[in-house]
Structure formats: structure tokens, C-alpha cells
């Protein structure tokens, strides 16, 4: 059985790409358009290869053979969908999406690559001290659509906080000023149900970056099907669900504590010295979420940018151009000098 799944045009045989605006699969050669049902009829609904215990020992393959041109390409062990560097055909490495690595859900891309490039460009232009290299066409064209692996957690949470509060009042009577301090025991308790708390499941992805492009709109969540990956890169998880659960708990604990603290009002001071956050009914689902990534090299340092492939939210860490800073400082100095000199001449 082939280790690579490639979706070809049912009319001309060229590689198909998933088109985010239409949510259909398009051929770039004969311009045919196909619905998901047509591909399922041609390739079958269940095209995932079940991984046996013996095969799982060999699952971390480092290369694959392109089904179109036969080129053997080396990939990172977590890459599960890619594009052939030689013939540009989209390919999916099926073994890396089977068994325990088969996602349950996917949110398909809504934005095209051109839309993501435009969003990124406008975002960078609002930062006047960013080096010009970050807007060069050759650099922006390298933006890549990637299905990033995420764990989505559901949980029922019981939160409790305890502490001491004071209410201080002041008044005067004759020549005396009085202060009265009343002490109160504060207790707050609440329950909340969280649905689909996302945790980045890739070591390579920057956690802060992935957190900053949230939220996703989970009304677009669909049952996973490999067809959606055609034409995009995809990573499989290398952060276990147990590791992800620990990350989720720390995140949710902060949410719950902040919500409980928000109810502590009307006190002069409040010192909360005890908390207890308990999790029950935890459920975990493996999902692929869309993101456009772009990495710039500047002064021997890498800068990563991300655009949410569904909502268009963008985030990243931009360096500052020393040349632009010096030019701006000189411009401010020149304008200030002209105002002082010319203004002084008029006043004189």
C-alpha cells in the first residue's frame, strides 16, 4: 500500500488543492472543481491506513516518494502533508495520520495565501521601524499554510478561593481623627464548564504565538478528512495529550481564579491566601487548525509570524531597524532645530 496519498483531478490527473473561499477542491490545470463527496466516491471515505503495533515502531519515517514525479524527499518526522519541491504536487503521508495520529477534527482554511500575505503586509506597515526586508516580495511570498496540531479539552471545573479583606473608614470628631478597620473573611466558590480549550501540540510551534492568534471559531469544526490537507503543509503532534492536559490546567486555573477574584469588590484591601481548583469530566480531542506561518532571518536571528487561517488575526515579534531609528531621530532633531532657529528669528 502506498504511504503517500495524493488527490488528483478526476478529469486530467493533475494534483488538486483545497480552495478555502469555496470550500471545494480545484485543479490548477484544467480548472475543474470538485465537491468533497466526489473525492470520497473516487478515493473512498475511509482511506486511513491502520497502524499495527509492529508498524508503530517504524512510523517515524524521514522520507517519502512523490506519487507524481517519483522524487524521494526528506521531511521532518512530524510533517504529515507537504508539497513536492520538484513538481509542486500536494502529497499527504498517510502513515503519519493514522492510528493514534489520526485527528478527530479539522477547521478548514478560510483565507487564501494571497489574503494572508495582504493581511501580514498591512500589519507590518503599521510598524514604522520594521526593517524594509520584512516587506520584500520574495520574503512575503514564502508565507506557508500549515495545519497545526492542537489538543482541544473539555472540562468541568470547581473553583474556590479564600482570604481576608478589610474595610477602612476615617472620620474627625473635634480635634481628633479616627480610623476604624473591620476585618472580613472572604470565600468565593464557582463552577464552570469549558469547551474546546486549545493547546498547541507541536514542539516546533511557538506556544505564545499560537496562543496570540486565538480564538478560533469552532462552529466551523468538521470531522477530520485528509482531503482538507491537500495543497497545504501539516504537522502531526509531538506533545502528548497528558503533557497538553497539564498546560490546559494551568491556563484554566488562571481563568477561574481571575473570574472569582473579579467578584471580590467593595473592600479596602483583599488578600486571598488559599485556592483550590478541581477538574472533572476531562475530555480531549486531537484537531488540526489552520495557520499561515512566515519566518524571517534578520541579523542572525529568526522572527516568526503567524496569521490565523480562519479569522485573519496576525501576531509576531518584529525587530527594530537601527537605520530607521537614526533617520527618525535626525528628522526630529532637524525639525526641532528649524522651529527654534526660524521661530527665534521671527521673535528677534
Lowest mean pLDDT among 4-13, 114-123, 137-146: 4-13
CA distance 128 to 319: 11
DSSP 108-159: ---S-HHHHHHHHHHHHHT-TTS-GGGG-HHHHTT-EEEEEEEEEEEEEEEE
DSSP annotation of 8 reads B
298 neighbors 319 (Cβ within 8 angstroms): yes
Task: Name the grid cell of 51.
Answer: 497502524
H or E element at residue 17: strand 16-19
User: 302 in a domain, yes or no?
Assistant: yes
User: 19 in a domain, yes or no?
Assistant: no
How large is the average pLDDT for residues 104-111? 95
Largest CA distance in the chain: 99
H or E element at residue 172: strand 144-173
How large is the average pLDDT for residues 188-207? 92
| Domains identified in the chain, total number | 1
Confidence of residue 116 (pLDDT cuts 50, 70, 90): very high
pLDDT score recorded for residue 266: 93
CA distance 28 to 250: 46
Decide if pLDDT at 28 tops 80. Answer: no
CA distance 303 to 267: 45
Hey, which residues does 296 pair with through a beta bridge?
303
Confidence of residue 94 (pLDDT cuts 50, 70, 90): low
User: 94 in a domain, yes or no?
Assistant: no
SS3 assignment, position 275: strand
CA distance 44 to 104: 18
User: 191 in a domain, yes or no?
Assistant: yes
* Cβ atoms < 10 Å from Cβ of 4: 18
Which of 139, 71, 69, 148 is closest to 308 using CA atoms? 148
Distances (CA, A) of 160 to 157, 169, 191, 192: 10, 29, 9, 12
Lowest mean pLDDT among 33-42, 208-217, 248-257: 33-42
Report the relative pairing of strands 222-223 and 233-235 from DSSP bridges: unpaired
User: 8 in a domain, yes or no?
Assistant: no
How large is the average pLDDT for residues 115-143? 86
What is the domain extent for residue 253?
146-317
Decide if pLDDT at 130 tops 60. Answer: yes
Decide if pLDDT at 208 tops 70. Answer: yes
pLDDT score recorded for residue 324: 63
Distances (CA, A) of 207 to 214, 218, 231, 286: 11, 20, 25, 17
The distance of Cα 274 from the centroid of its chain, to the nearest Å, equals 33
CA distance 285 to 143: 28
Decide if pLDDT at 301 tops 90. Answer: no
How large is the average pLDDT for residues 244-252? 95
Buried residues in 21-40 as b, exposed as e (16+ CB within 10 A): eeeebbbeeeebebebeebe
211 CB-near residues (< 8 Å, 6+ apart): 200
Sign of CA dihedral 34, 37, 42, 47: positive
* Best-predicted range by mean pLDDT (89-103, 173-187, 289-303): 173-187
User: 11 in a domain, yes or no?
Assistant: no
Place of cell 464548564: 193
User: 125 in a domain, yes or no?
Assistant: no
149 neighbors 244 (Cβ within 8 angstroms): no
How large is the average pLDDT for residues 66-79? 63
Sign of CA dihedral 227, 306, 235, 72: positive
Percent of the chain topping pLDDT 70? 74
Which of 160, 161, 166, 162 is closest to 184 using CA atoms? 166
What's the mean per-residue pLDDT of the chain? 82
CA distance 109 to 222: 12
106 neighbors 288 (Cβ within 8 angstroms): yes
CA distance 241 to 184: 42
User: 247 in a domain, yes or no?
Assistant: yes
Amino acid at each position: 500500500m502506498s504511504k503517500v496519498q495524493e488527490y488528483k483531478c478526476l478529469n486530467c490527473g493533475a494534483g488538486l488543492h483545497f480552495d478555502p473561499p469555496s470550500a471545494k477542491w480545484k485543479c490548477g490545470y484544467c480548472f475543474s472543481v470538485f465537491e468533497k463527496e466526489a473525492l470520497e466516491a473516487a478515493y473512498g471515505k475511509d482511506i486511513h491506513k491502520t497502524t499495527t503495533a509492529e508498524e508503530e515502531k517504524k512510523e517515524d519515517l524521514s522520507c517519502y516518494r512523490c506519487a507524481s514525479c517519483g522524487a524521494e524527499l526528506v521531511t521532518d518526522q512530524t510533517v504529515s502533508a507537504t508539497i513536492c519541491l520538484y513538481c509542486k504536487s500536494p502529497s499527504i503521508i498517510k502513515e503519519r495520520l493514522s492510528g493514534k495520529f489520526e485527528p478527530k477534527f479539522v477547521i478548514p482554511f478560510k483565507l487564501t495565501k494571497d489574503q494572508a500575505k495582504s493581511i501580514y503586509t498591512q500589519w507590518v506597515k503599521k510598524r514604522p521601524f520594521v526593517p524594509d526586508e520584512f516587506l520584500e516580495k520574495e520574503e512575503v511570498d514564502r508565507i506557508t499554510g500549515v495545519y497545526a496540531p492542537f489538543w482541544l479539552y473539555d472540562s468541568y471545573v470547581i473553583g474556590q478561593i479564600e482570604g481576608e479583606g478589610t474595610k477602612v473608614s476615617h472620620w474627625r470628631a473635634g480635634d481628633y481623627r479616627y480610623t476604624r478597620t473591620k476585618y472580613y473573611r472572604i470565600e468565593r466558590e464557582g463552577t464552570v464548564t469549558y469547551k474546546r480549550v486549545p493547546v498547541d501540540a507541536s514542539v516546533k510551534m511557538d506556544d505564545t504565538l499560537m496562543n496570540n492568534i486565538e480564538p478560533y471559531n469552532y462552529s466551523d469544526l468538521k470531522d477530520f478528512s485528509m482531503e482538507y490537507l491537500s495543497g497545504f503543509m501539516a504537522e502531526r503532534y509531538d506533545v502528548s495529550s497528558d503533557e497538553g492536559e497539564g498546560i490546559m490546567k494551568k491556563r484554566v486555573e488562571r481563568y477561574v481564579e481571575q473570574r472569582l477574584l473579579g467578584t471580590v469588590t467593595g473592600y479596602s484591601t483583599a488578600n486571598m491566601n488559599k485556592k483550590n481548583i478541581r477538574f472533572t469530566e476531562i475530555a480531549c480531542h486531537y484537531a488540526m487548525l489552520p495557520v499561515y506561518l512566515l519566518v524571517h532571518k534578520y541579523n542572525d536571528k529568526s522572527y516568526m509570524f503567524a496569521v490565523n487561517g480562519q479569522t485573519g488575526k496576525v501576531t509576531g515579534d518584529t525587530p527594530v531597524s537601527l537605520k530607521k531609528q537614526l533617520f527618525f531621530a535626525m528628522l526630529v532633531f532637524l525639525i526641532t532645530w528649524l522651529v527654534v532657529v526660524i521661530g527665534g528669528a521671527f521673535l528677534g
